[in-house]
Amino acid sequence: MTDLLLNHLGGKWVAGRDSGSGLFDPVLGTELVRVDSTGLDLNAGFAFARDQGGGALRSLTYRQRGELLSQVAKLLQSNRDAYYEIACANSGTVKNDSAVDIEGAIYTVSTYGKLGAALGDHHALADGEAQPLAKDGSFGSRHVQVPSRGLALFINAFNFPAWGLWEKAAPALLSGVPVVAKPATATAWLAQRMVKDVIDAGVLPAGALSVLCGSPTGLLDALQPFDVLSFTGSAETAALIRSHAAITRRSVRLNVEADSLNAALLLPGEAAGSQAFDLLVKEVVREMTVKSGQKCTAIRRIFVPQELFDAAAESISARLAAVTVGNPRNESVRMGALASRTQLTGFHDGLVHLRQQAELLHDGAGHALIDADPAVACCAGPTLLGCRDGDRADRIHDVEVFGPVATLLPYRNRDHALGLVRRGQGSLVTSLYGSDSGALAAAALELADCHGRVHVVSPDVAASHTGHGNVMPQSLHGGPGRAGGGEELGGLRALNFYHRRAAIQAGAAVLGALAP
């Protein structure tokens, strides 16, 4: 029997009452550990987090909480080798792909630690200047933000067990709000191990950080009015969450990140083989293959001028052909596995669905697996589809297939291109490629309303841009419409979700004493 990962709830490590579910190596098929959270007293555990964890965090200033985050970052850094081993085994990722998750998590925690230092020794945040309500200025109004006195529940996706945890937890803890993390079961090991390391080291107050592994019954039922809930996952699950009484009756604040058909667009006026063209090709291949395309920000649709369709198809396919797929433990392998058999099945079913409206430009099935048994390993080669009539191909704009696949589409002119990009109905990110700064800026503003982030790549930033799919803590992560309508990160903007805004009406002396 493999080891059972414990949950941490109510300030102690606790096991579920059943044998639980197994977590598997997606390449070798072996069971790694088991998780179970049945029978846990969620109400008591959540109350402990709110009262003990929240109370202890709120007694600290922003600077002090920032110092705790800096300690967490250093601790995670010291244990990173173990995290890479877990990621390889449980997520099937090569080292570079694991780094996106693990190093991204550590960098984000470190960033919010530094932001805490900048906020200083205060317990509340000012929100604008005082406004007079009396003609003589003796009475007025000032808005402040104070930490929510609930907890933050995170229901996370399988693809980023490290970063998905800490990109939410870092701003929550800096805000003074205790965290309960519920990682996706299939890859929960890495998140649980990180939480365990932090708790065992005694960095945070008791109750400030909890983790639930598995599928506890009544998870949302245990939420109270001043709690907040952040969900990353499918639009179908998000719809169920939105209909729960915790949201509809108790007004639990909800943030959702859901499906996203992100795009890459080469602006008109570029030639095949130009710097902008080559930058698009390079980024598309990277986004199709990093973490086997299992990124919420991955490029799913590629738009090029119609006269460049064949050249783009040839260039992207040539790069994809060089991608080696298989066991991430083999140093010659560039792309590992999908996270589970369920994900692999969904990927293949999705390809069948998309191919009803698209042709096959590069067949991922032609990639022989290295050091991996095709009958066992959840590996799939990168696949490029093409659709020459983007106006009629509704599936390409409506269905996200989560894996190493993208579809190339031609456009007639600028307006046609922007209209096709908008067919995604709201996305986390789109990237623009070109060499005309004015045209790039205009296109970025045109698309800003339907994307959480617009990533603009021109030859002058070829070596310095951070990447279409890389989420930086300084920038907003989230998107309108089908992407869920949520917002995360964005520097100090992330703290808004974990604070409550109130207007204080008082005399000038009182208002001046409220917050800096």
Query: In this predicted model, what pLDDT tens digit does every residue of 425-484 receive, in sequence order?
Result: 999 999 999 999 999 999 999 999 999 999 999 999 999 999 999 999 999 999 999 999
pLDDT in tens, 355-402: 999 999 999 999 999 999 999 999 999 999 999 999 999 999 999 999
pLDDT at 514: 87
**Does 36 have pLDDT greater than 80?**
yes
DSSP letter at 435?
S
Interatomic CA distance for residues 150 and 179, integer angstroms: 10
User: Which of these, 21, 25, 23, lies nearest to 379 by C-alpha position?
Assistant: 25
Return the structure tokens found at 277. Answer: 């063209």
Q: Reduce the DSSP state of residue 31 to 3 states and report it.
A: strand
**What is Dmax (Cα atoms) for the chain?**
80
User: Which of these, 223, 269, 298, lies nearest to 467 by C-alpha position?
Assistant: 298
The total number of residues written for the chain in this structure: 516
Angle formed by the axes of helices 95-119 and 188-200, to 10°? Answer: 40
Burial of 273 from C-beta contacts in 10 A (0-12 / 13-18 / 19+): exposed
DSSP secondary structure letters along 376-428:
T------EEEE-S-TTT-HHHHH----SSEEEEEEESSHHHHHHHHHTTSSEE
Reported pTM: 0.95
Please provide residue 430's backbone torsions phi and psi, each rounded to the nearest 5 degrees: -130, 150
**Does 233 have pLDDT greater than 90?**
yes
pLDDT in tens, 9-24: 999 999 999 988 999 9
Interatomic CA distance for residues 179 and 207, integer angstroms: 8
Amino acid at 469: G
515 and 459 Cβ atoms separated by less than 8 Å: no
Burial of 96 from C-beta contacts in 10 A (0-12 / 13-18 / 19+): middle
Please provide residue 85's backbone torsions phi and psi, each rounded to the nearest 5 degrees: -65, -40
Interatomic CA distance for residues 396 and 413, integer angstroms: 19
pLDDT at 1: 61
Average pLDDT over residues 64-93: 98
Q: In angstroms, what CA-CA distances link 503 with 353, 514, 515? A: 52, 11, 12
User: Which of these, 224, 230, 267, 193, lies nearest to 417 by C-alpha position?
Assistant: 267
Interatomic CA distance for residues 293 and 469, integer angstroms: 10
Domains of the chain: 4-258+489-512 (3.40.605.10), 263-478 (3.40.309.10)
**Does 179 have pLDDT greater than 70?**
yes
Average pLDDT over residues 210-226: 95
Average pLDDT over residues 177-187: 97
List, by residue number, the catalytic residues: 257, 296
Average pLDDT over residues 180-204: 97
Q: For all residues of the chain together, what is the average pLDDT?
A: 96
39: left (phi over 0), alpha (psi -120 to 50) or beta: left
User: Which of these, 46, 414, 30, 461, lies nearest to 223 by C-alpha position?
Assistant: 46
User: Which of these, 158, 173, 182, lies nearest to 403 by C-alpha position?
Assistant: 158
Task: Output Rg (C-alpha) for the chain, integer angstroms.
Answer: 24
Distance between first and last Cα of the chain: 57
168 and 152 Cβ atoms separated by less than 8 Å: yes
Q: Residue ranges of the alpha helices (H) in 79-162?
A: 80-91, 95-119
Q: Where are the beta strands (DSSP E) in 175-262?
A: 179-182, 209-211, 228-232, 253-257
Report which secondary-structure segment, H or E, holds 430.
strand 427-433
Confidence tier at 515 by pLDDT (50, 70, 90):
low
Q: Reduce the DSSP state of residue 7 to 3 states and report it.
A: strand
Return the structure tokens found at 317. Answer: 């396919």
Q: In angstroms, what CA-CA distances link 303 with 79, 262, 430? A: 42, 11, 11
**Does 512 have pLDDT greater than 90?**
no
pLDDT in tens, 107-151: 999 999 999 999 999 999 999 999 999 999 999 999 999 999 999
Query: Would you tell me how many other CB atoms lie within 10 Å of the CB of residue 44?
Result: 12
pLDDT at 2: 83
19 and 36 Cβ atoms separated by less than 8 Å: yes
Average pLDDT over residues 200-212: 97
Give the residue carrying structure tokens 């738009």.
Answer: 303
Apex 89 CA angle, 87 and 94, nearest 5: 60
Q: What percent of the chain has pLDDT over 70?
A: 99
